[in-house]
């Protein structure tokens, strides 16, 4: 369903010093199969308008799903009245500079439209994935689930800004749980991309399903991960979590400014650290990149209208830029990015991650393994804990392998590692050549709460002097 917001803008654009209107329409479809039985078949539609106004140097919002004339008039009046009142207590005086005038159109690059795959066909593929995991009676839980999201965001502003963005996204999860006595072991694989129905390919998904189940069974027979200080090789699907928690969240400028300390937390990063702080070893290059093809948080414009560009956050190990929108940049004087994003029509935008990627290095995974006298390779996040300054952390993984004398020797179950953010990243000693892309639809932040999509690409990475240990954490 589309909505003529240009006419709406003409009617209301004189209501404030500046007016922005967004029409946000999202359709989310959930399909899930467990132990070969379809469990979930649900589609949720969420549509509404967000009215944004600038009055006396203060930005304010009102959202409505009531798109009758009365409903919209009420939302505009509410945005104006509230913002006029709040402007008397503002902590910073903004201008239209924080809402750049841009025009353009973004669309996820897909090969097959998401609605080209019928319910039966999709359910059959997910059921086949579940069946492929049925390697033994010990695989007690076999789940294949897909979340398919189609989002349109249409924006206009009173000074001529006009953007239309059209997203097609799929999160696909395969999970096997193996049981022996009272012990359960989980192995999973996930795909999170802006993509079309072409992601649902049996020849791609069935081997992954089988491998997930096979590795869950292997874990039942494996020894616990030992406790030692060693070299740790992390797969890209664990690196995504490491990047998210120990780079993404601490670099959010609104956290550093203190806006989020009551809920999401603060950051160990200080304003004066930008341009100076050695965050990691010289091998560490981290970018904010919504322009990268097919990641979950790729886009052309953020919610302020700012055009997204690829920017280094950390260059050769030095912290150079924050995850801060135009508003946070104005407040702090620190360079930022186009990351002003809200999760829906009924939430205001705040500083978020988008795609935060660790750039490829020069070492092949083969050379990393062959060069190790002893080390542990860990795959796929299972648990995470990090303090609210994003400093001390402890992460658990699903599956680990011992590497000795340049060869993979055996499997460990219940692997974990711990560290402190800056020490950990300064111990980065090799970065792989091959990038893999993951993401999450569930990054939480803000009051009231906002859950948003993020993407993370990374190669395999090798760290020295890391404390690893076994057990459920």
Counting contacts by CB under 5 A, is residue 428 touching Zn ion?
A: no
Please identify which residue in 153, 319, 402, 443 interacts with Zn ion, judged by CB under 5 A: 443
By CB under 5 A, which span of 54-62, 102-110, 202-210, 437-445 interacts with Zn ion?
437-445
Residue carrying the six token digits 């492929």: 132
- Count of residues in contact with Zn ion, rule CB under 5 A: 1
Contacts of 229 (CB under 8 A, 6+ apart): 465, 466, 467, 468
Rule CB under 5 A: is residue 452 a binding residue for Zn ion? no
Residue with the shortest CB distance to Zn ion: 443
Stretch that binds Zn ion, among 203-211, 289-297, 406-414, 441-449 (CB under 5 A): 441-449
Instruction: In angstroms, give the least distance from the CB of 171 to Zn ion.
Output: 15
Closer CB to Zn ion, 233 or 443, in the complex: 443
Task: Establish if 386 lies at the interface with Zn ion (CB under 5 A).
Answer: no
What minimum distance in Å lies between the beta carbon of 446 and Zn ion?
11
How many beta carbons lie within 10 A of that of residue 89, not counting itself? 7
Please tell me whether residue 178 binds Zn ion under the rule CB under 5 A: no
User: Is residue 326 within the footprint of Zn ion (CB under 5 A)?
Assistant: no
Instruction: CB nearer to Zn ion: give 257 or 443.
Output: 443
How far is residue 205's CA from residue 432's CA, in Å, rounded to a whole number?
25
**Closest CB 335 distance from Zn ion, rounded Å:** 22
Regarding 296 and contact with Zn ion (CB under 5 A), the answer is: no
Q: Supply the minimum distance, in Å, between the C-beta of residue 225 and Zn ion.
A: 26
CB of 243 to Zn ion, least distance (A): 11
Stretch touching Zn ion by CB under 5 A, among 75-83, 121-129, 140-148, 436-444: 436-444
Q: Is 264 in the site for Zn ion (CB under 5 A)?
A: no
Complex with Zn ion: residue 16 or 443, whichever CB lies closer: 443
Q: Is residue 356 within the footprint of Zn ion (CB under 5 A)? A: no
Check binding of 62 to Zn ion (CB under 5 A): no
Interface residues toward Zn ion, by CB under 5 A: 443
């Amino acid at each position: 369903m589309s909505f003529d917001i240009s006419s709406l803008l003409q009617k209301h654009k004189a209501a404030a010093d500046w007016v922005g209107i967004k029409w946000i329409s999202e359709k989310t479809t959930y399909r899930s199969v467990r132990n070969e039985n379809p469990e979930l078949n649900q589609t949720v539609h969420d549509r509404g308008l967000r009215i944004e106004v600038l009055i006396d140097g203060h930005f304010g919002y009102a959202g409505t799903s009531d798109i009758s004339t009365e409903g919209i008039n009420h939302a505009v009046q509410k945005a104006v009245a509230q913002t006029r009142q709040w402007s008397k207590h503002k902590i910073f005086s903004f201008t239209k500079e924080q809402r750049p005038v841009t025009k353009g159109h973004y669309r996820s690059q897909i090969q097959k439209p998401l609605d080209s795959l019928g319910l039966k066909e999709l359910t059959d593929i997910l059921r086949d994935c579940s069946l492929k995991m049925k390697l033994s009676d010990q695989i007690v839980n076999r789940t294949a689930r897909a979340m398919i999201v189609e989002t349109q965001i249409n924006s206009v502003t009173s000074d001529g800004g006009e953007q239309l963005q059209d997203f097609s996204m799929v999160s696909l999860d395969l999970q096997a749980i193996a049981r022996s006595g009272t012990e359960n072991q989980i192995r999973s694989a996930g795909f999170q991309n802006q993509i079309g129905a072409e992601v649902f390919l049996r020849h791609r998904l069935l081997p992954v399903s089988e491998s997930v189940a096979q590795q869950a069974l292997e874990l039942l027979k494996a020894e616990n991960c030992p406790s030692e200080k060693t070299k740790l090789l992390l797969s890209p699907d664990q690196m995504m979590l490491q990047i998210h928690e120990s780079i993404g969240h601490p670099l959010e400028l609104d956290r550093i400014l203190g806006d989020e300390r009551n809920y999401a937390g603060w950051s160990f990063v200080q304003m004066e650290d930008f341009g100076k702080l050695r965050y990691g070893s010289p091998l560490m290059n981290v970018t904010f990149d919504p322009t990268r093809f097919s990641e979950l948080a790729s886009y052309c414009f953020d919610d302020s209208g700012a055009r997204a560009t690829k920017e280094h956050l950390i260059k050769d190990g030095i912290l150079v830029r924050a995850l801060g929108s135009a508003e946070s940049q104005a407040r702090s004087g620190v360079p930022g990015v186009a990351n002003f994003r809200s999760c829906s029509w009924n939430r205001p935008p705040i500083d978020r991650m988008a795609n935060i990627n660790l750039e490829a290095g020069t070492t092949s995974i083969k050379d990393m393994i062959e060069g190790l006298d002893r080390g542990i390779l860990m795959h796929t996040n299972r648990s995470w804990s990090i303090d609210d300054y994003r400093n001390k952390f402890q992460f658990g993984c699903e599956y680990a392998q011992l590497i000795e004398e340049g060869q993979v020797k055996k499997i460990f179950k219940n692997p974990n590692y711990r560290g402190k953010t800056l020490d950990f990243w300064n111990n980065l000693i090799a970065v792989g050549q091959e990038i893999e892309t993951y993401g999450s639809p569930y990054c939480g932040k803000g009051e009231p709460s906002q859950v948003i999509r993020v993407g993370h690409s990374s190669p395999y990475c090798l760290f020295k002097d890391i404390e690893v240990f076994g057990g459920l954490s």
